[in-house]
Homo-oligomer: A and B are copies of this chain.
Amino acid sequence: LGTVCIFGTGDFGRSLGMRLLQSGYGVVFGSRNSRNFSLLPRGAQVLPHAEAAHTAQVIFIAMHREHYDFLCQTAGEALAGKVLVDVSNNLRRNQYPESNAEHLHQLIPAAFVVKAFNTVSAWSLQSGGLDANRQVLICGDSCEAKQIVVDITHSLGFTALDKGSLRAARELEDYPLQLFPLWKLPITLATCLTAFFFFYLLARNVIYAAVNDRKDISFQIMVSLANKVFPIVSLIMLALCYLPGAMAGFLQLYNGTKYRRFPAWLDRWMLCRKQLGLVALALAFLHVLYTLIIPMRYYIRHRLSDWTISQIKLNKTEAFDTTMAWRTDSYFSIGIVGFCFYILLGITSLPSVSNNINWREFRFIQSKLGHLTLFLCTTHAFLYGWDKFLRPSAYKWYLLPGYMLALVVPCVVLVLKLVLVTPCVDRAVTRIRQGWE
């Protein structure tokens, strides 16, 4: 397979060298009299930069950008006509005016610079089982040079994705610096909603009791309050997953065509529905755990035994209330089934599962079963609330109970969806979406 040269005997250079040797390439390291020879993979040769450059057509520059000048001085001419693979990353975005690869190209214009492998860590170069997932992003101005790098990539067992000319290098260098860009909005939203409902319910329940009844029930913050805030936010965020789809439907109906761009905010919203949904799932999971520990709580056990004792003292037994039994069992049951579908949505958004199903199957689960999930969870909250809203005690300080606020958005979404699936509207939307004029 020929010989490949690597400049730099650091972590990345060594890992790459080991992998290349494994795949049958010859490897020559270019190094300043490096001290870490003992760590180098066996079978590799080490030479000064300029000499090393002569041994191969392809040279990986496994050095930090700061040392490119040094490189230019020591081995500048030797690099002319070579394929230089820039693998470098920066510490933060916009650290330099131009991308590292373009900088390298400016320093050594006679070489063919290809940006590649910077999205792969030294770690994953070394390890690597039977799973061939990792994609290596590549860009560069010379097609031949890129092709050579693509071939090496394939020999190493990676898939290569061509990202075009060297101008794309900045994008590639930004990639490893990202920190969950699509998750920012959903997590911010969840945080804000959680904070809002926390203080709202704190006022309504704990502070109200402290002020009006002079009772300190602040211990309820840890579980009772949390177990109101999390499900409420989860339900609202679940509804927010399905709201943009409904809005898009109405917009398309109004426009009469699918070939008009959505407003930017709607586009951004639609792109982060997956993340919205997963955050909502995490909150629902918290709700379920908080619910399941209820019978173990000191407070609940104390209350139950207090109640039994008071019954005995009053010498009466409360009659069994069948309606109550139906209602509570129903909302438990519906909550459980809803939660299972919720998890199903989560499982199908795992990349390996969603890659294994076709579009129709994905839409069946995410859209059909997703709306069913929303419906079940909404019903669960309705049944939980039941006739509480009739009691005046529910409006402490004129604040609505939490579950009523939770139900607003889901109900809106369900009504909009109901309109969209009525036969006549559905037909119109389908015609528009199929794009036939």
| Interface, chain A (partner B; CB < 8 A) | 1, 10-11, 21-24, 35-36, 38-39, 64, 66, 119, 121, 123, 129-135, 137, 139, 143, 154-157, 159-165, 168, 175-180, 216, 218-220, 222-223, 226, 258-259, 261, 282, 285-286, 288-299, 301-302, 304-309, 311-312, 317-318, 320-322, 324-326, 328-330, 332-333, 336-337, 339-340, 343-344, 350-353, 355-361, 364, 435-436
Q: Contact: A329 with B299, CB < 8 Å?
A: yes
Q: Contact: A219 with B361, CB < 8 Å?
A: no
- Work out how many copies of this chain go into the complex: 3
Given A23-B164, A24-B164, A130-B137, 12 extra CB contacts under 8 A: A22-B163, A38-B261, A133-B351, A179-B364, A219-B329, A223-B333, A289-B339, A295-B296, A305-B307, A350-B352, A351-B356, A352-B352
Q: Contact: B130 with A332, CB < 8 Å?
A: no
Contacts A285-B340, A336-B293, A360-B176; A36 near B161 (Cβ below 8 A): no
Contacts A1-B143, A286-B340, A309-B311; A134 near B132 (Cβ below 8 A): yes
CA distance A186 to B299 in the complex (A): 39
Q: Contact: B359 with A355, CB < 8 Å?
A: no
Q: Contact: A301 with B304, CB < 8 Å?
A: yes
- Write 9 A-B pairs (CB below 8 A) sorted by A numbering: A23-B162, A155-B162, A176-B360, A177-B360, A223-B332, A298-B328, A302-B320, A308-B308, A312-B312
- Which residues does chain B contribute within 8 Å of A168, judged by CB atoms? 22
Contacts A131-B352, A297-B328, A329-B219; A318 near B336 (Cβ below 8 A): no
Q: Contact: A358 with B176, CB < 8 Å?
A: yes
Closest Cβ–Cβ distance, residue A216 to chain B (whole Å): 6
Q: Contact: B165 with A161, CB < 8 Å?
A: no
Q: Contact: B296 with A305, CB < 8 Å?
A: no
- Which residues does chain B contribute within 8 Å of A350, judged by CB atoms? 350, 352-353
CA distance A344 to B218 in the complex (A): 30
Q: Contact: A296 with B293, CB < 8 Å?
A: no
CA distance A361 to B180 in the complex (A): 7
CA distance A220 to B333 in the complex (A): 11
Q: Contact: A330 with B222, CB < 8 Å?
A: yes
Closest Cβ–Cβ distance, residue A61 to chain B (whole Å): 15
- Which residues does chain B contribute within 8 Å of A162, judged by CB atoms? 1, 23-24, 155-157
Contact of A286 among B179, B299, B337 (CB under 8 A): B337
Closest Cβ–Cβ distance, residue A189 to chain B (whole Å): 18
Closest Cβ–Cβ distance, residue A97 to chain B (whole Å): 22
Which 4 pairs of residues, A with B, have the shortest CB-CB distance?
A157-B161, A352-B352, A132-B159, A222-B329
- Which residues does chain B contribute within 8 Å of A222, judged by CB atoms? 326, 329-330, 332-333
Q: Which residue from chain B places its CB closest to the CB of A133 in the assembled complex?
A: B355
- Which residues does chain B contribute within 8 Å of A132, judged by CB atoms? 132-135, 159, 161
Which residue among A139, A162, A216, A218 has the maximum number of chain B CB atoms within 10 Å of its CB?
A162
- Which residues does chain B contribute within 8 Å of A66, judged by CB atoms? 436
Closest Cβ–Cβ distance, residue A287 to chain B (whole Å): 10
Q: Contact: B164 with A22, CB < 8 Å?
A: yes
- Which residues does chain B contribute within 8 Å of A330, judged by CB atoms? 222
CA distance A352 to B307 in the complex (A): 52
Closest Cβ–Cβ distance, residue A242 to chain B (whole Å): 17
CA distance A426 to B83 in the complex (A): 38
Contact of A133 among B302, B344, B352, B359 (CB under 8 A): B352
